[in-house]
Every structure is written in structure tokens, then in C-alpha cells.
Amino acid sequence: MKNAGIIFKKEIKEVIRNKNIWLPIIIITVIFSIGMPLFMIIGSESILRDEDTVNFITKMFGQVEDPLRVLIGFILKQLLIFLLVLPAMVPSLIAPSSVIMEKENQTLEPLLATPVKTSELLLGKSLTALVPAFVISTINFIILTLVVDIAAYLKLGYMPLPTAEWVIVAFLLSPILSFILTMASIIVSSRSTDIRSAQGIGAIIILPIYLIIGLQIAGFFLLNFIYLLVGCLVLLAVCPLVLRLAVKIFDRENILTRWKMKA
Amino acid sequence: MISVEDLTKKFGDITAVENISFNINESEIFGFLGPNGAGKTTTIRMLSTLISPTSGKIIIDNKDLQGKGEYIRSITGLLTESPGMYDKISAYDNLLYYSAFYDMPPSRRKDNIEKYLKMFDLWDRKDDLAGSYSKGMKQKLALSRALVHEPKILLLDEPTAGLDPESAHMVRNFIDSLKKEKITVFLCTHNLEEASYLSDRVCIINKKIIKVATLSELQNDDKNKRVEIVFADDAYRYLKIMEGIDKIKDITIDKNRAILVIEEPELSNPLIIRKLVKNGIKILYFNQVKVSLEEIYLDLVKNEGKK
């Protein structure tokens, strides 16, 4: 465990220094946690003046007492799904490079020659992706909640967040998703030969998240408490499987000889 | 200190090393020589528990490698073929990071880092990013990394590769001095001069072991004994006569000098001299020639290739 901490401490410093990781995170935060909610809440009354929007609400929810509240609730559900982008994206930005860079810089062999256990190496590398993913998505959750509540309170006189769905997404679904994607990224990078292919495959891994976002926006379904809970349970069942696979694949010999076999 | 028995490593259908066996004594420098693809790096990786053997046994410090990986890694220092440093952190922090994995008080780690960085003339640039180091400096830094935790066994893969002659000389002297500190050294090298200067024994490998011996044992092997004859005039004039003597196995001529490979030289030399003198040939000198490790190595590898 001590060795995993040593790896994590060194790696996290490098992650913090890496602008290529922070830039997309900041952009996503500004767009989805600040810009979009502000724009939607401030403009919600004018949206309601549009006849098509009123018809849409009536069609979706029937005759409602307070269409503005329903509209805000609907918008927040759309935003909720965007909150999944960060916990999925952060591990896929950090994890593949943390293993592949070791291979490319040829630092992996001397590292594996120390008494560090493979499980400690895997844990150290996983934490390097998991901790920032959790911290960033929690910060995003807080920013979004503050932005939405302040804007809604000033404009509409009530604070719509947090809801039970938000809490599930932020504190249950997001960490589970980050864990799965971290393990998947480590599996991919253990088998990859260069950073480009690892990041390319890493980008493909998060495609299902974009698919869910797209399907909700297209109106195929609307995430609610039950859907989220079922989703969490399904993903929770996947966790031990990806962990087992990662442990199996991430062994000393595999990651060394898959990279470059030298006789 | 190291005992290897019938070690084989296969990668799929490719056999990297086959049934190799050798023993290395404590504080011995064991030169491991072979052409590219001979299995040197594979062997060093097995000794450092980075990869596991397909079959065979490795015992290090009286412990079977199987299941004792962490202990073995804690008493060995590995210098990999390429230095492999974290370019974006300082040289000092690189050593601090790697050494943190060993069970050692922090103050001793820091003392050792200082000791080796000073020894290899890197102390003044300890805070520079490792990425700004030249290849030779990185190699010296990697050697410091292999030593900083005070290993009992040092596994060196081409330790002087990429070093300028002065640094290479310093590293060689340093490796030689490790004997006094009772460190066992497994030295993989292409540099035969280095191997003959440093090694107590050499092992020549080409997937299988060709020979394990001391340099003097190799030189005194009848197959490697050479005789130099200096004639009063052109040696080519006597080529036919020399070829007619069945104890002479090989002849190399350079002006008035001939180098002969002779079967059972101690018995055959007087007969050969007598025969040459009988034919009226004037011999100025008749000397035993010490064969270099390079010649022995090339000869052994060539003969192995013919098999």
C-alpha cells in the first residue's frame, strides 16, 4: 500500500502540471456547469413564450400547473446527463498515458525492477485517474448546483437543486463510471504499443456515454431515479469483472513483453 | 550467490534461451557475452524477476526466485539497456522516487543519492530536469539508480554504452571496485575489452551456453593457443611446407610473420621447428601468442553457428 501511495504522489504532481488534461476539463466545466445552466434558466421565461415549447411540455407532461417549474426540471435532467461526461472523460485522459508514457520513456522496466508489487502499481496508477475524476466531478456538481440555485432563486424565487437524482449521479454513478473507465483504460494501455493508439481506443471507450447523452436529447428516454438506480446496479456488477480483467492483464511480464520483445 | 539450472524461456514459438546453467559466486564479476538476439536481455530480465522462466530454476541468495520476487528485487540493482528516466522531473527527484520503494531510512537514501551523484560528477546538476541530460549523463544517473539502495547483486546491461571514453573508464574502474564491497556483478556487454578487463569469468551465450570460463582458461585452451613465427624473409615462401605439416590447423600470414593454430602445441611445437629448420628455413623468433577474448569469442560464436 505504501508503494501505491508513492506512485500516486508522483503521478498526481505530473497530472496537475499537465495542461493538456486541464484544458478540456475547464472548457467542459465552463460550458456545462456554468454557461448552459445560466443561459437556460435566465432564458426560461422567454422559452415559454414560444408556442412549440408549450405544446411540447403539454405533450410530454400533460396539463401542468406551473409549466416554468416543469421546464426547469426538464432542462436540469438534460444537464444531469452531461455531468457524466467528466467522470468518464478524466480517466480516459489520464490512465492510458500513465502506463504508456512509462513504456515510451522506458521507465517501466526500472520501476518493475524495484520491490513494488504489480497490484501496488495498478492501484497507484488507478488512483491517479480515479481521484482527479472524483474530485473534478464533485467540484463540477457543486459549481453546477450553486450556479443553478443562485440563478433560479434570483430569477424564479426557488432553488431546484440538489435532487435525489443529482445525488445518485454525483456520488454513485459518477465514481462507478470512473472506476470502470479507469480499469478499461489501464487494460487498453497495458496492451497498447504507443500513446496514440491507447488514447484512440480510450476515446472509443467513452462512446457509450455519448450515446446515452444523444439518446436522451433525442427523446428516447428521460433519466429518472429508477433508471439511474438500475444503471448503477448494472455497472456495479460490471466493476469486479473489469477489475479482475485488469489485474489479470496488468502483470509484469505482459506489460513488458507486449510492449517490446527483446531477446 | 546466483545459481541457474536448465533455464529456458520461450515467447510463443520463439526460444530466447535454452537450457542454460551457471553459478556465480559472491563478489564475482560475471561477464555475459553474446551476439544480438542471443538471450542476454531475456536472461537479465529473468534474474531480475521481470519475466518468469518457461522452465528451469533460478536461486539467488539461497532463495528460489519463484514467489520471492519482492525479496530478490530488494537485493538486486538493475541497469537496463536504455537508462529510462522521468524527463520532466529533476535527476535528484528521479533517484528519490525509485529509492522510495526500498526499505531504507530516508536519511540513508539521501546520503546514498548524494554519494553516487557526486561520484559520477552529476551533483552540480542534480536539480536539472533529467530530460536535459545527455545520453552519457543519463547512463550515469541510471547506474546511480541501480546502486542507491545498496544492492547485494548488480545486474548491468551494457553499462558503458553511450559513455564518452573518460566516463566509460570511470564506470569500469567503479565496477571493478565493487568487488571490495562484496557486490556480485552480472555484466551483459558487447564490449569484449571491457569484459576481459572486468570479468572474473565470462559466459558466452547464443541462446545456449557456449562456454563458461575465466579468461586465462580460455586463453590456455589448446584450441585457442597460437604460435607466431617470424621468418628471416617472406613467410609465403614457406606456406606449402607449413601446410604439409599435419599438426598445423590454420595459418595466417603477414609479410615475414605467420600465426599458426597448432594441435597439441606443447607436443607439436618441437616437431614443427625441427621440420622447418630441416628445410633450411631461417627462423628469427618463435613465440606463443596470447589470444584476445575478442578472437576467442568470434571463434566460438562462429563455430556454434556452423553446428
Q: Kindly state whether B2 is in contact with chain A, defined as any CB-CB distance less than 8 angstroms.
A: no
Residues B94 and B146 sit within 8 Å (Cβ to Cβ): no
Phi, psi of B228 (to 5 degrees): -110, 130
Q: Supply the pLDDT for residue A53.
A: 78
Interface confidence (ipTM) of the complex: 0.81
C-alpha cell at A148: 443553478
Q: Supply the pLDDT for residue B53.
A: 93
Chain A nearest-CA distance from B20, in A, is: 14
Instruction: Give the residue from chain A lying closest to B44, CA to CA.
Output: A263
Contact between chains at A115 and B101 (C-beta distance less than 8 A): yes
Residues B289, B295, B298, CA angle at the centre, nearest 5°? 160
Tens-digit pLDDT string for chain B (307 aa): 899 999 999 988 899 999 999 999 998 999 998 888 889 999 999 999 999 999 999 999 988 888 788 899 999 999 998 888 999 899 999 999 999 999 999 999 999 999 999 999 999 999 999 999 988 899 999 999 999 999 999 999 988 887 888 888 888 888 988 888 889 999 998 888 888 889 999 998 988 998 888 887 877 776 777 889 999 999 999 999 988 888 888 899 999 999 988 888 888 889 889 998 999 899 999 988 877 777 777 877 777 766 6
What is the C-alpha separation between A169 and A80, in angstroms, rounded?
Answer: 8
What is the C-alpha separation between B7 and A173, in angstroms, rounded?
Answer: 50
- Count the Cβ atoms, other than its own, within 10 Å of residue A121: 22
Testing the interface with B: which of A1, A9, A16, A112 to mutate, by most B Cβ within 10 A? A112
Residues of B in contact with A6 (CB under 8 A): 97, 100-101
Q: Answer yes or no: is pLDDT of A118 > 90.
A: no
| Cβ-proximal residues to A53 (8 Å cutoff; 6+ apart), any chain | A47, A71
Q: Kindly state whether A204 is in contact with chain B, defined as any CB-CB distance less than 8 angstroms.
A: no
Residues of B in contact with A263 (CB under 8 A): 11, 14, 16-17, 37-39, 41-42
Q: Answer yes or no: is pLDDT of A161 > 70.
A: yes
Q: Supply the pLDDT for residue A258.
A: 63
Residue pairs between chains A and B whose CB atoms are closer than 8 Å:
77
What is the C-alpha separation between A129 and A202, in angstroms, rounded?
Answer: 13
Contact between chains at A109 and B80 (C-beta distance less than 8 A): yes
Cis check: omega of the bond before B159, within 30 degrees of 0 = no
Q: Kindly state whether A254 is in contact with chain B, defined as any CB-CB distance less than 8 angstroms.
A: no
Q: Supply the pLDDT for residue A256.
A: 76
Q: Kindly state whether A108 is in contact with chain B, defined as any CB-CB distance less than 8 angstroms.
A: yes
Contact between chains at A114 and B73 (C-beta distance less than 8 A): yes
DSSP secondary structure string for all residues of A138-204: HHHHHHHHHHHHHHHHHHHSS-----HHHHHIIIIIHHHHHHHHHHHHHHHHHH-SSHHHHHHHHHH
**pLDDT tens digits, A59-116:** 777 777 787 888 888 888 878 777 788 888 888 888 877 777 888 888 989 999 999 9
Contact between chains at A113 and B52 (C-beta distance less than 8 A): no
Q: Kindly state whether A16 is in contact with chain B, defined as any CB-CB distance less than 8 angstroms.
A: no
Phi, psi of B213 (to 5 degrees): -165, 170
